[in-house]
Structure 1
């Protein structure tokens, strides 16, 4: 199976891999093929200007910064079901087994799920072998 990446704007990508954010808010339903799969977390090249959280881990842009498993998803009208991280009127994708990479791996992201280059996958595999 091909490993896919998902681009997420900062500060949300950093909150996933370095804090407690375990839900990704999306306007679209999780494709069945990605349910239960490991994905790479890619920090987008742009900041979400509407976000109100900041910190030292949110300064990385345009790079793979972590790995997670998408274990489930659900729709939320009010956003209260997933603590402070859930948005209203959004699909909440539940993330588990989150690992922050020791070093960001530069990569150009895309909308939706995308396939990283072989060089990026090799770099991820090298770093995760060290962190196991």
Structure 2
């Protein structure tokens, strides 16, 4: 019987920067072994172009992603819910693993300011993958 695939949901306010970078890293590092979702409590019109550029420096393309609205179903159907500055907008369900990652918002920042945020996200994603997919 195949191993169950854990589902991770990343939530930030606009679903345009932090959560999209996290989802991009998790897709790249976890591959098909982890299902990845992202959403925002107040989604933006488009992905932050500086976040797209910062991820491109790591050979990860998030340019085709679109901000999505956070739904109760997305939370209900996820095993791990990681919030990034969206406060109490995320519904709580028993039995889920919740983490809040205190990360600076890349909105309105230049590439020099976004790179350290991206690198922090990448380190957190690598640690998460090691927890979810033990060798």
Q: Same fold (TM over 0.5)?
A: no
Higher strand share: 1
Higher helix share: 2
Q: TM-score, normalised by structure 2?
A: 0.28
Q: TM-score, normalised by structure 1?
A: 0.29
